[in-house]
Amino acid sequence: MLGIKFLCDFVHGFGRAVSAAGLIFAIGNSLFAEEFEVFGDDEVVEQAEEEISVAGDEANGEQCADPVEGEEWGESPCKASLWKVDAAYVFATSNWDDGDPGFAARLNVARENGDGFGKRFQVWTFNQDALIQTGWAWWGPFINQVDITASSAYFDVYQRLPVYRGNVALGGGLAGGYMNFKERGVRHDLTFAGAGFDLFADGYYPLAQYTKTEFGVIGRGRLALLGGYWNSSRHYTDVDKGWNEGWVTLVDELAWGFELRRRFGRNQDKYWFVDVSREMQGWGTVWWPYTADRTFQGTAVNFGLVW
C-alpha cells in the first residue's frame, strides 16, 4: 500500500506542478506579450493587473467550483480530506438456529485524503440465544439453549480508485476476532480468540443521479486470517465437533445492496447516506472452510455521514 500511496502522491504532485507551470506561463504571457505598452501607459498597466487578477480567480474557481450543473452529479474539484462515520443494525441469524432472530451491529470510522488514500477502523458484534442440538439421549437428540456471541475488529489502510462514475476501494490491515458458545445448564463453554491480517474490497456504482441526490448499488468482500485456538471445556458434543482442530481460522464476508446519497456543502463534497444490504459472514478452520454451519447472515440497515 505504501507503493500505491507513493505513486498517487507522485501523480498528484506532478499534476499540481503542471497546473502551476501553466498558470505562471499564462500570467507571464499576459504581462510580457505587450511589454512595450505595459511600461508606457498607466491605463495599460491597470488593465494588465486586472487581467492577472481575473486569471487567478478563474484558476481558483476551477479548483473549487460548485460542481452542480443541471441534473448531473459531478465530482467536486476540491480534493479535501474527509471523515466518514456510519453505523448499521443487522437483522441477523446464525446457521445454528435461523428461526430465532439475533442482534448484530457494525460501526465504521474512516479518514480519507483527497487522493483516495485512507485509514479505517471497523468493529462488528453479534449475539443470539439459539436452540442447538448439543448431543443425544436415549429418547433422541438433546436440544439445549446456547448463547452465541461473536465480534471482530479491523484496522485497515486502503486506496480508493475511480471506476467510470463509481469507485472501488482496495486495502487490508490488522484483524481480530472473538467467538463464544455457552450452553445453559451444563456449564460448557467453547471460546475462540485470535488476531491476524485481512484483505478487503468494496465498491459503489450509481444507477440514477439528480442535482443533489444519487442512488446506486454497493458491494463488499473481506477475507481475514486469524491465528488463535478454539478452547472447549469438553470435546464430545456436536457443538464443538471439528472446531478444536487447529490454530488458524478463516473469516470471510460478503455483502451487496443499494445506497441512497444526499450531498451538501459549499462544494457539494459532503453527503449523508443510507443503505440496505444483504450480508453473510462465515467462520471456519482451514480444514473446514466456508462450511454452512458456521455462518451469520441477515439484512443490514446502515446510516452514515461523510464530511
71 in a structural domain = no
Alpha-carbon gap, residue 93 to 279, rounded angstroms? 11
Same structural domain, 23 and 123: no
pTM equals 0.71
The neighbour count for residue 302, using CB atoms within 10 Å, is 21
Per-residue burial over 110-147, b = 16 or more CB atoms within 10 Å of its CB, e = otherwise: bebbebbbbebebebbbebebebebeeeeeeeeebebe
For residues 265 and 307, the answer to whether their CB atoms sit within 8 Å is yes
Examine the domain organization and report whether 99 and 191 are in the same domain: yes
Residue 302 lies in a domain: yes
Coil, strand or helix: which one is 235?
A: coil
**How many independent structural domains does the chain possess?**
2
Find out whether 5 and 117 touch, Cβ atoms under 8 Å: yes
User: What is the Cα–Cα distance from 172 to 154, expressed in whole angstroms?
Assistant: 9
Q: Does residue 247 have a pLDDT over 70?
A: yes
- The pLDDT of residue 14 is 39
- Check whether residue 44 and residue 101 sit in a common domain: no
Residue 96 CA: distances (Å) to CA of 106, 152, 223, 279 = 21, 19, 22, 17
Domain closes at, from 33, 63, 93: 63
Nine-digit cell at 23? 498558470
- For residues 97 and 25, state if they share a domain: no
117: Cβ contacts below 8 Å, ≥ 6 apart = 4, 5, 8, 157, 158, 159, 160
Question: pLDDT tens, 52-108?
Answer: 444 444 444 444 544 444 444 555 555 679 999 999 999 988 876 666 778 899 999
What does the pLDDT look like over 108-137, one tens digit per residue? 999 999 899 999 999 999 998 876 655 556
Give the domain extent around 55. Answer: 2-63
Q: Are residues 111 and 182 in the same domain?
A: yes
Same domain, 221 and 184: yes
